[in-house]
Amino acid sequence: MTRTYAGTIEMLRQAGLRPTRQRVGLAHLLFGQGDRHVTADQLRGEAETAGIKVSLATVYNTLHQFSGAGLLSEVFVEPGRSYFDTNTASHHHFFNVDTGDLADIPDGEVGVTALPVPPAGTAIDDVSIVVRVRKHQR
């Protein structure tokens, strides 16, 4: 978690990304407050609220650049929406189908029993578990 501007700038430099006003602002929103799960649109809204002027196209570019640099990971839970996760360690997710909220499953609470044998000619890249939850009706 980077919290100072100097630290954010250093992080971006190390990732080979110029610390532009937009990137620094978005990095602050993303990495300044613990683990986060955001869509491009949500992040754009937060940036606006925070007074960071940035276009949606740049938010997308930035999220992909951060992913490429290993600062973010992408999570697939829904067609038509991309989520980005500041937790780049291997872990799993709860997805609330009613609200669209994505949350980490605490470490160790779930895992896979064994790795399956991948189809011929392929190798395993990533294993993800998504636990879909909904409002508990009573």
Where do contacts with DNA occur on this chain (CB under 7 A)?
A: 17-23, 39-41, 53-58, 60-62, 64, 79-82
CB nearer to a second copy: give 6 or 117.
117
Q: Is 12 exposed, middle or buried (0-12, 13-18, 19+ CB in 10 A)?
A: buried
Closest approach, Cβ 128 to a second copy, in A, equals 5
**Out of a second copy, DNA, none, which partner does residue 70 contact, by CB within 5 to 8 A per kind?**
none
Contacting positions for a second copy (CB under 8 A): 76-82, 92, 94, 96-97, 103, 105-106, 109-119, 121-137
First CA to last CA across the chain, in angstroms?
A: 39
Return the number of the residue (28 or 44) whose C-beta is nearest a second copy. Answer: 44
Q: Whole-angstrom Cα distance, residue 97 to residue 106? A: 19
Residue 133's closest CA among 104, 80, 96, 83? 96
Structure tokens at 34: 């613990």
> Among DNA, a second copy, none, what does residue 64 contact (CB within 5–8 Å per kind)?
DNA
